[in-house]
A = this chain, B = another copy of it.
Amino acid sequence: MTGEVRVIPLRGVPELEEGDDLAAELAVAIAAVGGLERGDVVVVAQKAVSKVEGRVVSLDGVEPTARAVELAGPDGDPRHVQVILDESAEIVRSRPPLVIAETRHGFVCASAGVDASNAKGPRTVVLLPLDPDASARRLRERLLETTGVAPAVVVSDSFGRAWRQGTTDVALGVAGIAPVTDMRGELDAAGRELHSTRIAVADEIAGAAELVMGKARGIPAAIVRGVDVEPGEGGAAELVMPRDRDLFR
């Protein structure tokens, strides 16, 4: 129906290994749901991207520094914390064994996005992609090659939030759409400029996709169809609040 948004899970993607052709795997799942349409956004879980890009580390052989031991506390694994430190530009908050860090990309999140679940074995962890925007662009290009349609692509991850419980999925990498829609200058019904003039639509798209994806369900991607998106060449860097304007750093 006109104006509806559909969130379509992409099923049947096998367990992924370094070097796998993620776009080709997604293309099979996309074909199974009837193919892509113009304006589609393909949302892909960061972990799937990281695995094929080899962003997986074994904790064996990681030498924890004194800082890592301190931040791990009595309940944490200092080797895991060391990997978090290696992936962090800055520690924002800590309460052992919890570390909230700013990543190299400028994202602020628990464990700098380093994740022990869904990795290959009990001693491996999965890191964030080095450049999630580049990952999104590459996927967009490869999906054009494999399906004939260039969707927008969002690489997503589950982030906690200040002041609120639970996580929501947000965009780490974006290709093909403007991640923040700028409604400045638009008027409401009373003729006044809108209050929420900048909507992080890429984050809302990521959150919508999570409703059909599921780490326990093995669905690493989804199509979000029907969003009135603004095409764009920007990236998720536009979603990061610059330090000098961030009241919470």
Return A65 CB to nearest CB of chain B, in Å: 23
The answer to whether the Cβ of A189 comes within 8 Å of any Cβ in the partner chain is yes
The answer to whether the Cβ of A31 comes within 8 Å of any Cβ in the partner chain is no
When each residue 214-249 of chain A gets 1 if its CB lies under 8 Å from chain B and 0 otherwise, what string results?
011010000010110000000000111100001111
When each residue 123-166 of chain A gets 1 if its CB lies under 8 Å from chain B and 0 otherwise, what string results?
00000000000000000000000000000000000100111111
Are B165 and A162 touching (Cβ within 8 A)?
A: no
The answer for the CA separation of A128 and B182 in the assembled complex, in Å, is 24
Return A119 CB to nearest CB of chain B, in Å: 7
Give every chain B residue within 8 A of A208 (Cβ-Cβ): 5, 7, 204, 207-208, 211
Are B241 and A163 touching (Cβ within 8 A)?
A: yes
The answer to whether the Cβ of A63 comes within 8 Å of any Cβ in the partner chain is no
The answer for the CA separation of A207 and B161 in the assembled complex, in Å, is 14
Chain A residues bordering chain B, tally (CB within 8 A):
76
When each residue 106-131 of chain A gets 1 if its CB lies under 8 Å from chain B and 0 otherwise, what string results?
01100000011111111000000000
Partner of A218 from the list B11, B115, B189, B226 (CB cut-off 8 Å) is B189
Give every chain B residue within 8 A of A203 (Cβ-Cβ): 164, 166, 168, 207
Name the segment of A22-30, A53-61, A67-75, A192-200 touching the other chain: A192-200
16 sample A-B contacts, Cβ–Cβ < 8 Å, listed by A number: A5-B6, A7-B7, A93-B247, A100-B247, A117-B195, A118-B190, A161-B162, A162-B248, A165-B200, A165-B241, A166-B203, A167-B200, A168-B207, A201-B211, A203-B207, A204-B207
Extra A-B contacts (9), CB below 8 Å, given A3-B11, A166-B201: A4-B7, A115-B195, A117-B190, A117-B192, A118-B195, A161-B161, A163-B249, A165-B180, A166-B180
Chain A positions within 8 Å of B, measured between CB atoms, are 1, 3-9, 11, 15, 33, 93, 95, 98, 100, 107-108, 115-122, 158, 161-170, 179-181, 183, 186-190, 192-196, 198-201, 203-205, 207-208, 210-212, 215-216, 218, 224, 226-227, 238-241, 246-249
